[in-house]
Structure 1
Amino acid sequence: VNVALPTLVRDLNTDFATIQWVVLSYLLTMTTLMLSIGRLGDMIGKKSIFNAGFVVFTVGSVLCGLSPTVHWLIAFRVLQAVGAAMTLALGAAIVTEAFPGQERGRALGLIGTIVSLGIIVGPTLGGVLIEYLSWHWIFFVNLPVGIVGTLMAWRFVPDFKPKGRQRFDYLGAATLCISLLSLLLALTWGQQVGFTAPNILLLFGVWLACLIAFLIIETRTKQPMIDLRIFKNILFSVNLVTGFTTFVSIAGVFILLPFYLEDVLGYNTQQVGFLLAVIPIGLGTFAPIAGALSDRFGTRPITVLGLVILFGGYIGLTGLSTETTTWSYVLRLLPIGIGMGIFQSPNNSAVMGTVPRERLGVASGLLSITRTLGQTVGIAILGALWASRVMANAGEFLPGGATTAPPAAQVAGLHDTFIAITVLIFLGLLLSVWGLMKERSLQSQMTVPQTNM
Structure 2
Amino acid sequence: MKNVLEDGLPNPQRLGAILTLALGITVPVLDSSLANVALPTIARDFNASAASSIWIVNAYQLAITVSLLSLASLGEIFGYKRVYQIGLLVFSFTSLGCAMSDSLLSLTVARILQGFGAAAILSVNMAMIKIIYPKKLLARGIATGAIIVSVSASAGPTVAGIILSIASWPWLFAINLPIGIIALCMGFKYLPENPLKNPGRRFDFISSLLNALTFGLFISAISGYAQGVNHHLILAEVVSLIIIGGFYIRRELSRPLPLLPLDLLRIPIFSLSLCTSMCSFAAYTLAFVSLPFFLQNSLRLDAGSTGLLMTAWPLATMLMAPFSGRLVGRYHSGVLGGIGLLIFSSGLFALALLPPDPAHLNIVWRMLLCGAGFGLFQSPNNHTIVSSAPSNRSGGASGLLGTARVLGQTVGAALVALMFNLFLTHGTYASLMLAGTLAVSAAIISITRVMQKPALANI
Which range, TM-score by smaller chain? 0.7 to 0.9
How many corresponding residue pairs?
420
CA contact (8 A) 1:300 1:350 kept: no
Report the counterpart of residue 342 of structure 2 in structure 1: 308
Report the counterpart of residue 29 of structure 2 in structure 1: none
CA contact (8 A) 2:227 2:417 kept: no
1:97 aligns with 2:131: yes
CA contact (8 A) 1:299 1:350 kept: yes
Alpha-carbon displacement from aligned partner over 1:222-269 (angstroms, at most 9, x marks no partner)? 442134222121100110011111111112212333343345444343
1:222–1:68 Cα change, 3 Å: same
- Decide which moves more: 14-23 or 332-341: 14-23
Instruction: Choose the corresponding residue for 2:208, options 173, 180, 187.
Output: 173
CA contact (8 A) 1:240 1:370 kept: yes
Report the counterpart of residue 343 of structure 1 in structure 2: 377
Q: Secondary structure at the match of 2:227?
A: helix
**Code of the aligned partner of 1:40:** L
Report the counterpart of residue 448 of structure 2 in structure 1: 434
CA contact (8 A) 1:106 1:290 kept: no
Unpaired stretches in structure 1, ≥5 consecutive residues: 391-401, 404-409, 444-453
What are the equivalent positions in structure 2 for 1:195-214 lying under 5 Å apart?
197-214=231-248
1:63–1:263 Cα change, 3 Å: closer
**Code of the aligned partner of 1:238:** L
Report the counterpart of residue 143 of structure 1 in structure 2: 177
Shift of 1:318: 4.9
Report the counterpart of residue 321 of structure 1 in structure 2: 355
- Decide which moves more: 250-259 or 323-332: 323-332
Shift of 1:337: 0.5
1:315–1:74 Cα change, 3 Å: closer
Report the counterpart of residue 17 of structure 2 in structure 1: none
What are the equivalent positions in structure 2 for 1:368-383 lying under 5 Å apart?
368-381=402-415, 383=417
**Code of the aligned partner of 1:218:** E
> Quick one: distance in 1 between partners of 2:121 and 2:373?
26
CA contact (8 A) 1:189 1:200 kept: yes
CA contact (8 A) 1:105 1:291 kept: yes
1:188 aligns with 2:223: yes
> Quick one: distance in 1 between partners of 2:294 and 2:103?
33
Shift of 1:206: 2.1
**Code of the aligned partner of 1:89:** S
Shift of 1:20: 5.7
Report the counterpart of residue 396 of structure 1 in structure 2: none
> Quick one: distance in 1 between partners of 2:103 and 2:309?
33
**Code of the aligned partner of 2:219:** L
Report the counterpart of residue 283 of structure 1 in structure 2: 317
Identity of aligned residues (%): 29
Report the counterpart of residue 243 of structure 1 in structure 2: 277
Shift of 1:295: 4.7
TM-score (norm. length: structure 2): 0.81
**Code of the aligned partner of 1:433:** I
**Code of the aligned partner of 1:250:** Y
Report the counterpart of residue 59 of structure 1 in structure 2: 93
Report the counterpart of residue 12 of structure 2 in structure 1: none
Report the counterpart of residue 220 of structure 1 in structure 2: 254
Larger Rg: 1
What are the equivalent positions in structure 2 for 1:63-78 lying under 5 Å apart?
63-66=97-100, 73-78=107-112
Report the counterpart of residue 448 of structure 1 in structure 2: none
C-alpha RMSD of the superposition: 3.0
CA contact (8 A) 1:316 1:332 kept: yes
**Code of the aligned partner of 1:334:** L
Report the counterpart of residue 397 of structure 1 in structure 2: none
- Decide which moves more: 427-436 or 13-22: 13-22
Q: Secondary structure at the match of 2:182?
A: helix
CA contact (8 A) 1:168 1:223 kept: no
Shift of 1:100: 2.7
**Code of the aligned partner of 2:441:** L
1:294 aligns with 2:328: yes
> Quick one: distance in 2 between partners of 1:133 and 1:242?
39
Shift of 1:95: 0.5
1:152–1:423 Cα change, 3 Å: same
Unpaired stretches in structure 2, ≥5 consecutive residues: 1-33
Alpha-carbon displacement from aligned partner over 1:88-109 (angstroms, at most 9, x marks no partner)? 1111111012213332232222
**Code of the aligned partner of 2:134:** P
Shift of 1:361: 1.1
